[in-house]
Amino acid sequence: MARLLSRLPHRLALASLLALSLLLNACGPTDRPRVTDYRSQGELRVATRHDAISYRIDDEGHASGFEHELLLALGDALGVPVKFVPYPDAARALDAVINGQVHMAAAGLGQNERLPLRWSAPLREVEYVIVGRNDGPAVNTEDRLAGRTVSVRRGSLPADRISAIRKRLPALNVHFPIKAGEEKLLAELARGALDLVATDRLHYAFAARIHPELEIVYELPGRSSIAWALAPEDEGLATAVDAFIAAFSASGRLARLADRHFGHVRRLDDAAITTFLTRIRERLPRYRAFFHEAQARTGIDWRYLAAVAYQESHWDPQATSFTGVRGMMMLTGDTADRLGVKDRLDPRESILGGARYLDMLMEQLPAEVAEPDRTWMATAAYNLGMGHLNGARSIARGLGKDEHSWWDMKSVLPLMSRPEYAQRLKSGPARGGEAVVMTENVRNFHDILEGLEAPYEPALSPPQLRLGPPG
């Protein structure tokens, strides 16, 4: 049986997997190839694929992503390290489970009960859509898809939905690109190389931040769940995985993890994204070297500093607000004096001063606040001041919330404008809701810059120079 499976072509699509299901069922469970138990193997082998949401590798070679982080927590619960085995597509990842090469597959997989696999408890719900360009023909009803070509990742649940439509509408053309995930398909759609793309709503939201010309033109029927695929006979691992997911969800950690990776994505509208992309081209090149220098002095990624600066001033060094804050990083007069910034309207001075201020705020937070929450809370304090942030943290403790978690704090900060909470604050009322919006916008701008701008790696980092006396 194993020899027969090894002769199957690597490009297994959904149809091939379904055919394989019949073959495996006929052979019986004892003939099916099985991977060595994860406990005796000393590791949990997980098939995955490179994806903007589930598993991605950054410019420095570090892995991250919603499912990546969740699987590391699973490994800790099981007491074994996780070995990630990337495959070109979801079909091959699923095939690896069927062939006994890995213990499970985790690749942004829609739960599909027709495959010869066992599915974990759901991780998150997902909706599927057809995406087009906003300058293309409208698609108001299913019959308007006639004559159009929909590109979709082979073996995915959106492919199932499109195939079902094609049975009713033979004039619909379906294109299955080779080795192309949602991110690449949507990028090709944005530049006009594709007609339409079927994907899920979250992948669309991520892509639309860089390609505002994209829009949802048709919503596919039904909802699904993202889950992990395991071998049907591996009941012990399946039971342990489901128990882990249940406990992780009940503790609130699953919701926090989802918020960390997706919670900020839909905050920017198309007009804001278009303006941001234009200013990346037209304004950022003038100041990039100053942000690089600020990173070298503080260790904060220059793209995050640029995101803060854009949120504050749209990279306008002459910006001035009615409250008296000025310059690229919108510093107050008192803060500028503490930082030794002599001219707030000088872009280099402002950027270096603002970077140092953000770094100081990070240092003032308790050690219990871990990254990335530490950076996000410091960003909120950049807007509010550390006194108000500490007041909000006190309110959080009183409400039984986690003062060290951005997930909890962003629900507490808006309360600071309410009289019943403001009276508890030494610093008085504050517009905490604005600090939340500011921080979530900065997260979005930073994500976009990470996708478009290269990291800065100074050949030799200079010492941590200060612009003036410590604050």
Q: DSSP states of 165-199 as a string? A: HHHH-TT-EEE--TT--HHHHHHHHHTTS-SEEEE
Q: Which of 268, 270, 261, 204 is nearest to 444 (CA)?
A: 268
CB atoms within 10 A of CB 152: 26
The whole-number pLDDT of residue 256 equals 85
Full set of structural domains in the chain with CATH: 2-122+227-262 (3.40.190.10), 125-226 (3.40.190.10), 270-452 (1.10.530.10)
Q: How is residue 51 annotated by DSSP? A: B
Write out the two tokens for 120: 């974990």
The whole-number pLDDT of residue 32 equals 62
69 catalytically annotated: no
Measured between alpha carbons, how far is residue 158 from residues 4, 15, 145, 212 in Å? Answer: 30, 14, 15, 22
The whole-number pLDDT of residue 266 equals 66
Secondary structure of 328-352 in the HEC alphabet? CCCECHHHHHHHCCCCCCCHHHHHH
The whole-number pLDDT of residue 422 equals 66
User: Residues in the chain, how many?
Assistant: 471
Write out the two tokens for 113: 């009960």
- Segment holding 221, helix H or strand E: strand 214-226
Options 67, 183, 312, 440, the catalytic residue: 312
SS3 category, 446: helix
Q: Are 305 and 354 in contact (CB under 8 A)?
A: yes
Please give the Cα distance from 440 to 225 (Å, whole number): 26
Chunked in runs of 10, what are the mean pLDDT values of the chain (471 residues)? 36 41 44 79 93 79 88 95 91 90 92 87 92 89 94 85 92 85 88 93 87 90 89 91 95 87 75 89 96 96 97 93 87 92 95 97 95 95 91 90 92 83 69 88 92 83 43 35
Please give the Cα distance from 358 to 329 (Å, whole number): 10
Q: Which of 399, 441, 400 is nearest to 421 (CA)?
A: 399
Write out the two tokens for 104: 């499970």
Write out the two tokens for 444: 């979005």
